Amino acid sequence: MRPMYRKGLLIECLLLLPMLGLAQNTISVHVYNVASNKGRVNVAVYNSHDTFLSFEEVLTTDSVHAAEGMVTLTIPNLPSGEYALAVFHDENDNGKLDTNWLGIPKEKVAFSKAKMKTFGPPKYKECAFRITSDYEINIKL
């Protein structure tokens, strides 16, 4: 190999090295037990306990038309890190999670790695998982 070619290759590798740390990943969310074809299934992605379940501070979201049985949502362009998901079936398609006067959800809700508790939702750490590459997760409503 000629010295000039080797030097050019080395420079290219050094320039691309920082980009490896910014690798973007995709989470595929398979949501099971969707009760009907009505409305939409929504997923919210969080990356800290401070913002978990806050509608104003959600990291990113996705939504698909509901299909009885199972739907898949895709969250692209996430750097490696820790995340927690909240999913709900907006059956009346009004764009929000409907609750009763006590704040208890009237629509089906689910979380990554944890279930709704008797006295409220799970904590961020109970739902959190790490990704370092593309990731698939199954969630039951």
Mean pLDDT of 6-23: 51
Proportion of the chain above pLDDT 70, given as a percent: 84
Task: Indicate whether 8 belongs to any domain.
Answer: no
Task: Indicate whether 93 belongs to any domain.
Answer: yes
Start-to-end CA span in the chain (Å):
59
Task: Indicate whether 133 belongs to any domain.
Answer: yes
Task: Indicate whether 7 belongs to any domain.
Answer: no
Task: Indicate whether 96 belongs to any domain.
Answer: yes
Mean pLDDT of 81-104: 93
What's the number of domains the chain is made of?
1
34-73: burial string, b at 16+ Cβ within 10 Å, e else: beeeebbbbbbbbbeeebbbeeeebeeebbbebeeeebeb
The residue segments making up the domain with residue 88 are 23-140
pTM of the model: 0.81
Task: Indicate whether 125 belongs to any domain.
Answer: yes
- Give the per-residue pLDDT at 14: 47
97-108: burial string, b at 16+ Cβ within 10 Å, e else: beeeeeeeeebb
Proportion of the chain above pLDDT 90, given as a percent: 69
Task: Indicate whether 3 belongs to any domain.
Answer: no
CATH number at residue 123: 2.60.40.10
pLDDT per position as a tens digit, 23-38: 699 999 999 999 999 9
Neighbours of 131 (CB within 10 A): 17
Q: What average pLDDT is seen over the chain?
A: 87
Task: Indicate whether 37 belongs to any domain.
Answer: yes
The lowest-confidence range among 17-31, 33-47, 49-63, 78-92 is 17-31
